[in-house]
């Protein structure tokens, strides 16, 4: 069994964070493990405002030790970290255990909020984690923060940010533009491997229920890497995966709705979708 790990927050609503990651790993036929960094809850009495409770440092380290020292992972991703010590512990365990297939999803915002959750962490994430990342997967907001550019509103600006982020150490950069680039009629993302840009377009799924889409995309990419795909092939498959997931999106209540990571299973069974997950070429 191929084992894959997420270092991420728990989203009590189940659509984002490690819950999205584990559901996605499952769809790729992998064994998922999770180190919880923060617990995120949402308050129905206050318009679904987010509450974030960081886990204690020793509790996080114990989980990382369980996973990386005690078991081993073919690939790993990190999502919401929420504290300086979570950034440092992630750096320590990814580097100490030589996790080459490490996907850095630099979660700085939750959907609906365009304000960074922990802006004071951004420099530490860039400095300590970008150099370890096989792929960094910022959205437009996060890419602008990591690159130190202004707001990203054009493909040229996306490319400029990808170049800067690669210059800070990520071996590959996947900027999740999705529906957010002004004037787009497609879901548009950008892949950069240090020399080559690839624009990836997919059908723009018309839904407001996109909670967890960023986490799910990065988790699918991590799962593809764990299965032995190249970063580019893993990104292409991840995009098909999130499109299928968003086609199955639904409301949880008046505030929030997630995609459905099992959306592609239906596609696969009925032969219209992204096709079979390839057999592994690596094992941990
Ligand atoms: O979608 C970003 C995100 C990541 N991780 C956790 C979250 C959220 C947004 O709600 O709760 C734990």
**Which tens digits make up the pLDDT trace of 210-227?**
999 999 999 999 999 999
Structural domain total, the chain: 1
Each residue's pLDDT tens digit, 12-52: 999 999 999 999 999 999 999 999 999 999 999 999 999 99
Conformational region of residue 14, where left means phi above 0, alpha means psi within -120 to 50, and beta covers everything else: left
Where is 177: in which H helix or E strand?
strand 172-178
Ligand 1, atom 2: nearest CA belongs to which residue? 110
Compute the radius of gyration of the chain from its Cα atoms.
Answer: 17
104 by DSSP, 3-state: which? strand
Q: Which of 107, 113, 176, 219 to mutate to test the pocket of ligand 1 (most atoms within 8 A of CB)?
A: 107
pLDDT of residue 277: 47
Work out which ligand 1 atom sits closest to the CA atom of 80. 5
Q: What is the chain's percent helix, strand, coil content, to nearest 5?
A: 40, 20, 40
Pairwise CA distance, residues 138 & 210, whole Å: 16
For residue 273, pLDDT over 70 is answered with: no
Ligand 1, atom 11: nearest CA belongs to which residue? 11
Kindly report the average pLDDT of the chain as a whole number: 91
For residue 280, pLDDT over 50 is answered with: no
Pocket of ligand 1 contains residue 214 by CB under 6 Å: yes
Strand-pairing partners, residue 7, are 35, 78
User: What is the DSSP annotation of 122-145?
Assistant: HHHIIIIIGGG-SEE--BHHHHHH
122 and 148 Cβ atoms separated by less than 8 Å: no
DSSP letter assigned to residue 280 = P
Q: Closest Cα partner for 107 from 25, 47, 166, 21?
A: 21
Domain that holds residue 200: 3-283
Q: Inter-axis angle of helices 155-167 and 140-147, to 10 degrees?
A: 50
Pocket of ligand 1 contains residue 9 by CB under 6 Å: yes
Pocket of ligand 1 contains residue 79 by CB under 6 Å: yes
Pairwise CA distance, residues 155 & 141, whole Å: 14
Which CATH number is 55's domain given?
3.40.1190.20
pLDDT of residue 117: 76
């Amino acid at each position: 069994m191929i084992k894959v790990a997420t270092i991420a927050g728990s989203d009590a609503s189940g659509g984002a964070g490690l819950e999205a990651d584990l559901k996605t790993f499952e769809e790729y036929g992998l064994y998922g493990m999770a180190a919880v960094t923060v617990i995120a809850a949402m308050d129905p009495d206050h318009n679904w405002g987010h509450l974030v409770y960081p886990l204690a440092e020793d509790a996080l380290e114990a989980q990382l030790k369980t996973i990386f020292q005690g078991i081993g992972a073919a690939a790993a991703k990190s999502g919401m970290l929420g504290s300086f010590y979570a950034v440092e512990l992630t750096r320590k365990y990814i580097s100490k255990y030589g996790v080459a297939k490490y996907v850095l999803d630099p979660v700085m915002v939750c959907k609906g909020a365009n304000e960074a959750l922990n802006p004071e962490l951004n420099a530490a994430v860039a400095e300590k984690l970008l150099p370890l990342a096989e792929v960094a997967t910022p959205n437009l907001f996060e890419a602008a923060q990591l690159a130190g550019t202004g707001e990203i509103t054009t493909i040229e600006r996306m490319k400029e940010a990808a170049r800067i982020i690669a210059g800070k150490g990520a071996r590959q950069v996947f900027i999740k533009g999705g529906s957010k680039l002004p004037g787009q009629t497609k879901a548009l993302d950008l892949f950069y491997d240090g020399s080559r840009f690839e624009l990836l377009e997919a059908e723009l799924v018309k839904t407001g229920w996109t909670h967890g889409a960023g986490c799910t995309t990065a988790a699918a990419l991590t799962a593809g890497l764990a299965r032995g795909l190249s970063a580019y092939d893993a990104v292409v498959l991840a995009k098909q995966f999130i499109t299928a997931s968003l086609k199955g999106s639904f409301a949880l209540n008046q505030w929030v709705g997630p995609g459905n990571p099992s959306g592609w299973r239906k596609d696969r069974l009925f032969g219209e979708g992204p096709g079979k997950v390839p057999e592994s070429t690596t094992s941990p």
